[in-house]
Amino acid sequence: MNFFRIGVVVVSLSLLILLSSGTAGGGTFKDVPVNHWAYESVGALTEAGIIVGFPDGTFKPGLKITREQFAKALVITLDIPLNENAPQIFSDVKPGHWSFLYVDAAKSYIPITSQQAGHFNFYGSHVITREEAAHAIALAMGLDKSPKPAGSYLAEKFRDYQNISPQFSESAAQTAYYGILSGDANNNFRSKDGLTRAEISIILKRIIQAKETPADQSKGSTDIIQRHQPWTIEFIDFKRPDYEMVQKHPGYNKIQTFYGTVTAGVYNDPHFVVQHKSLDYEGQQVDIKKAKTVHVYVYKEELDLFTKGDKVSFYYDRDNHITSYVLQ
């Protein structure tokens, strides 16, 4: 089983990311003065032709980014391939719409709230939150885990860490650790706030810096990132409670949770064993009639985070990749 999925970030400075419908160019805007906190990033990316402003000479740095705008920015920046023959997955994103191919390409990364069977909306015009953006970026870039369990790391970094949704905590920790997303002047992550045009300018610049920094030089927040999937979960004799939805609908990506107890660490192979006794289904914790054995694959150097008897909760997506966890 290949649990280290390698991804390559390719950023071309000739790409044009249209986060607005405007066409004004140039490196300066009347609403982004020299003392603006995003001035450097906005100017650099504008000069490189990656982002543009509005026809009236403004950049509108505080304007919130929508989910479909973010999808396009993510796909173009990370060179995620488009599928010209993509089927329609979301009821509210039809073929021919400007964001259709970008939404399709980003659907595995941007969190999606599922509805009743057969009905899926992307809500492209809705503002994307900072925690949703963190989740998408961490998955799309294949970021490593932070050096500590997400809960303790976030508690050290952000005053409002408890406001971060559990299913996004690992991604928030990853993007914070690698300096992609950061807190505000008061050390708050503001997980439920919308992502602004100024913030996305800084984020894109940081992604480019991470890509361009030689692996043997930098030790800071823009270190070259080893891009692979940090967690993969393999179930033995087990199916998700919503297995049929996963099989029938490619866009279905509901986060599920299972709870268990660590029974052993397998140190000659990077995984440990968990006795799986309950899971979340329809918003409720349901006991498993017959306990299942679950092998959780991690990095060898991280096995010492878990010991026999530990109570663990894992949040996992449609592809059984762990998105975050809680170690009790």
pLDDT band at 258 (very low <50, low <70, confident <90, very high): confident
pLDDT band at 196 (very low <50, low <70, confident <90, very high): very high
Q: Domain ranges in the chain? A: 39-212, 232-327
From 96-105, 198-207, 208-217, 260-269, the region with the lowest mean pLDDT: 208-217
Is 2.40.50 the CATH classification of the domain at 232-327? yes
On whether the CB atoms of residues 282 and 327 are closer than 8 A, the answer is no
Q: What integer best gives the mean pLDDT of the chain?
A: 74
What is the C-alpha to C-alpha distance for residues 65 and 163, in angstroms, rounded to an integer? 21
Helix, strand or coil, per DSSP, at residue 316: strand
Would the pLDDT of 66 be above 90? yes
What is the C-alpha to C-alpha distance for residues 128 and 87, in angstroms, rounded to an integer? 24
Strand partners, 13: none
From 97-106, 133-142, 218-227, the region with the lowest mean pLDDT: 218-227
What lies within 8 Å, CB to CB, of 132 at 6+ separation is 67, 110, 111, 168
pLDDT tens string 296-320? 766 555 566 677 788 887 777 777 7
**201 φ, ψ (degrees, to nearest 5):** -65, -45
Q: Once rounded to an integer, what is the mean pLDDT over residues 177-181? A: 86
Dihedral angle sign, alpha carbons of residues 286, 292, 297, 301: positive
**123 φ, ψ (degrees, to nearest 5):** 55, 55
On whether the CB atoms of residues 257 and 320 are closer than 8 A, the answer is no
pLDDT band at 21 (very low <50, low <70, confident <90, very high): very low
Q: Once rounded to an integer, what is the mean pLDDT over residues 274-284? A: 69
